[in-house]
Structure 1
């Protein structure tokens, strides 16, 4: 049995655009990936709303710094064959980081953590698939517009920056923005069709990585 961990933010958690709740299990991309891969693979989803790559959010009651929680998550779910990391959207908040270069550095830190974590029982570090989130979009919703509007242009750079980080580190890469777009309801999140599309699109890449 192969195990794949999906480490992400609200796009992985399944946040419904406009703040009306959480997508049904079947509509979340890790579950769509599970459906595509079948029973021989166990897909574990770990998504937290507001999670960043490696930056603190002092406005939250949760620990949203992905670098600070990653070792705990790895220790909880190991042994792992693959970890898919899709983070960076929340880095685009001006009061968090606000630029793609910072998000790239954060992603590089996450890669380093995966490869140096203190795994037990002679477990090996999992392979890594870096996945860039779709670019932020324009929206009339005041909360998300004011929170993310300065990061829209920077978010469009994430795919190229993450591809470079993945190439340098010898990781696989996939641009989720090549198959989905954010909802105009808030410019950040995905409707059910789009979040399912990520799972379906990334499945062939996962099969290749795991030699299925």
Structure 2
């Protein structure tokens, strides 16, 4: 994905062409006279760097979550699902950079508090994966819902063009049927109300499966994260520019 060419580029490209022509004349024994328009070595370097900046410009996918996103217990730069998504994107030669902004133990309240700092950077796609720690701590459902809505509101206010994906979460049955059912519907309700992309359950085909989770029975293994990445990819892919 190419970024907008800076206003000064036509002039730099013109000077770059002169630089090539001058090099050719030198090789033929004809030495062009030095003039104010002659490209210096430092200017040639500047042209090269500007061109490289254009070629390497990417859009940003930010994964904002808790220990699931952070890749708890694993090498987050390789094994966590955001890193797996980056590898997938790189293999397709797409101009996107995936940022892992996961914090183990993060609640929706904590996420809301650190969001203003996060929003200081340009974000094209924002994956919101929070809420599991609220549920495991028995935080009132209304509070979790309000925090998630506040996060969505802040993203849309600060960056209206940012596309949002909300990742749904489910709780184990020992939290009580009424609470677990109410918790699960928070995510689907918010996705519908805000008209944003939705992953019904980010731990689909992973949650509750012993061999795909670490010894704590909560955090995915390397193989588990590969499945999580595929679940996210199914929603993310249609949002990318190919």
- The reply to whether TM is greater than 0.5 is yes
Higher relative contact order (CA 8 A, sep 6+): 1
> Gaps (5+ residues) in structure 2?
1-57
> Which TM-score applies when normalising by structure 1?
0.73
CA distance 1:23–1:176, shift in 2 (3 Å): same
RMSD: 2.5
Cα distance change of structure 1 residues 154 and 27 upon mapping to structure 2, 3 Å threshold:
farther
Which of residues 189, 196, 205 is equivalent to 1:179?
205
Residue 3 of structure 1: aligned partner: 60
Residue 116 (structure 1) aligned with residue 157 (structure 2): yes
Asked whether the 8 Å contact 1:92–1:151 carries over to 2, the reply is: no
User: What residue number does 1:128 align with?
Assistant: 164
CA contact (8 A) 2:126 2:164 kept: yes
Whether the aligned pair in 1 keeps the contact of 2:202 and 2:228 (CA below 8 Å) is: yes
In 1, the alpha carbon distance for the partners of 2:219 and 2:178 equals: 17
Number of residue-to-residue matches in the alignment:
177
Unaligned runs of 5+ in 1: 17-21, 55-64, 139-148
Structure with larger Rg: 2
Q: Is the 8 A contact 1:31 1:43 kept in 2?
A: yes
Q: Shift in Å at residue 99 of structure 1? A: 4.2
Partner of 1:85: 128
**Aligned counterparts of 1:11 and 1:37: Cα–Cα separation in 2:** 20
How far apart are residue 103 of structure 1 and its match?
Answer: 2.2
Change (3 A) 1:137 1:127: same
Separation in structure 2 between the aligned mates of residue 194 and residue 10 of structure 1, nearest angstrom:
14
Which structure is higher in helix share? 2
Which residue does the alignment assign to 1:203? 233
Whole-angstrom distance in 1 between the partners of 2:181 and 2:79: 25
Aligned partners of 2:69 and 2:101 also within 8 Å: yes
